[in-house]
Amino acid sequence: MEAFVHMEAEVAIEIIIEDKTTSGQILLMQKLGEKDKGIIYSMIDIMLTKRRVRFFSEECCCTIKQKP
């Protein structure tokens, strides 16, 4: 996923998509211009980063609360 988010062009990975809606959206994204793709990748990166930060902060809070 990191290669997808950070647009490393030389990394080849196999992706299996079970959700037909997601599959169709990815196909449509491939037809976009580079600027539009960059915007979408940036949005995905921001959402994933926010999720990681929230998960990390929740883990830290739980760890701090558990210490006597």
Query: Is the pLDDT reported for residue 65 higher than 70?
Result: no
**pTM, to two decimals:** 0.50
For residue range 8-63, list pLDDT tens digits in order: 555 666 767 677 788 888 888 889 999 999 999 899 899 999 988 888 777 776 66
d(CA 7, CA 63): 34
Query: Is the pLDDT reported for residue 2 higher than 60?
Result: no
More confident residue, 1 or 16: 16
Angle at 36 between CA 43 and CA 46, to 5 degrees: 10
pLDDT of residue 67: 52
Q: Are 45 and 4 in contact (CB under 8 A)?
A: no
